Amino acid sequence: MTSKINTTKAKSIFIKSGLPGSDRVINPYNGCLFGCMYCYAAQIARWKHPNEEWGTYIDVKVNAPELLKIELEKLNKKLKTKNFGSVFFSSVTDPYVSIEAKYKLTRKCLEVLADFGYEGTITIQTKSPLATRDIDILKRFKKVSVGFTITSLDDDVSRFLEVNAPSVSLRLKALMELHKEGIDTYAFVGPILPYFLNKERINPLLDKLQAVGVKEVWFEHINLSPKIKARLYQYLKKEDPTLISEFEKADTEEYRSELNKMIHTAMRERGLKMGLGKVIYHKNPLKK
């Protein structure tokens, strides 16, 4: 598949965030070449690309590091602090999407934050082992954590639904490397994939995460909003139509509440910390 890479200049980069657990968000890119089939960003990051298929384009904000430096200095002048709250990389892209190897915008933004002496928490969430390239800069922060999305332990499942993202085994290896280097890590099990992540698979998944040094796990129920569904089901229809009914079955309060109980028990048994203390669920506004 050919990718369309557009270079662009952002007007702002250190954006206030409405995401749970973060005050600010930095997106050095808009769009994502990993093309996950369940991606919620596919709906919100495409206003400039209404007719392009998610996963085939990306906007590279070439001025992101310079702009970040200016915005941090401006805020510092106004608020006389070096802590503007928790900063999250990223909400409408993966900060270590493949072309980051060339453009290094995430790396340079981290460098800007480190040079500034940023005192808030930095959280990075990715599916790419490229994050380990930046261990040298990550070590300069007092409060930093790197999270990897782990939706299954099976590389075939990640290849199937996280089409162009690095395999889950590479992500687990990267988690281990970061942990060994003394960087705080966490895992994001989201979305909890219907059919692929069931009662039998949750315990081995948590055991594996603990084995690679993870102490905190975030969970999120799948968001089957009409727009996400349209793209995901179109794909499943083509690849494996039997899965559609499995996903439909999972979109009920009963299913979610049973899963919540099971997850809380499994986490408690292992002494793992649950992100936000609960399984996140973004309720579909069209559902009562």
Minimum CB distance to ligand SF4, residue 226 (Å): 18
71 or 162, CB closer to ligand SF4? 162
Return the exposure string of 127-140: e unless at least 16 CB atoms fall within 10 Å of the residue's CB, then b. bbbbbbbbeebbee
For every residue of 191-259, DSSP letters joined together read EE-TTTS-HHHHHHHHHHHHHTT--EEEEEE----HHHHHHHHHHHHHH-THHHHHHHHTSSHHHHHHH
Minimum CB distance to ligand SF4, residue 126 (Å): 8
- Strand order, beta sheet including 57-61: 4-8, 57-61, 29-30
List of residues contacting ligand SF4 (CB under 6 A): 32, 34-36, 39, 41, 93-94, 127, 162, 165
Of 167, 284, 159, nearest in space to 222 by CA: 284
Of 211, 209, 213, nearest in space to 188 by CA: 209
Minimum CB distance to ligand SF4, residue 41 (Å): 4
94 or 184, CB closer to ligand SF4? 94
User: Would you say 139 and 153 are in contact if contact means Cβ atoms under 8 Å apart?
Assistant: no
34 or 196, CB closer to ligand SF4? 34
DSSP state of 19: S
Minimum CB distance to ligand SF4, residue 268 (Å): 28
User: Looking up tokens 């310079």, which residue turns up?
Assistant: 66
Minimum CB distance to ligand SF4, residue 223 (Å): 11
What is the C-alpha separation between 125 and 17, in angstroms, rounded?
A: 15
Minimum CB distance to ligand SF4, residue 281 (Å): 17
User: Looking up tokens 């928790």, which residue turns up?
Assistant: 86
What is the C-alpha separation between 25 and 91, in angstroms, rounded?
A: 7
60 or 72, CB closer to ligand SF4? 60
Minimum CB distance to ligand SF4, residue 58 (Å): 10
32 or 144, CB closer to ligand SF4? 32
94 or 111, CB closer to ligand SF4? 94
72 or 165, CB closer to ligand SF4? 165
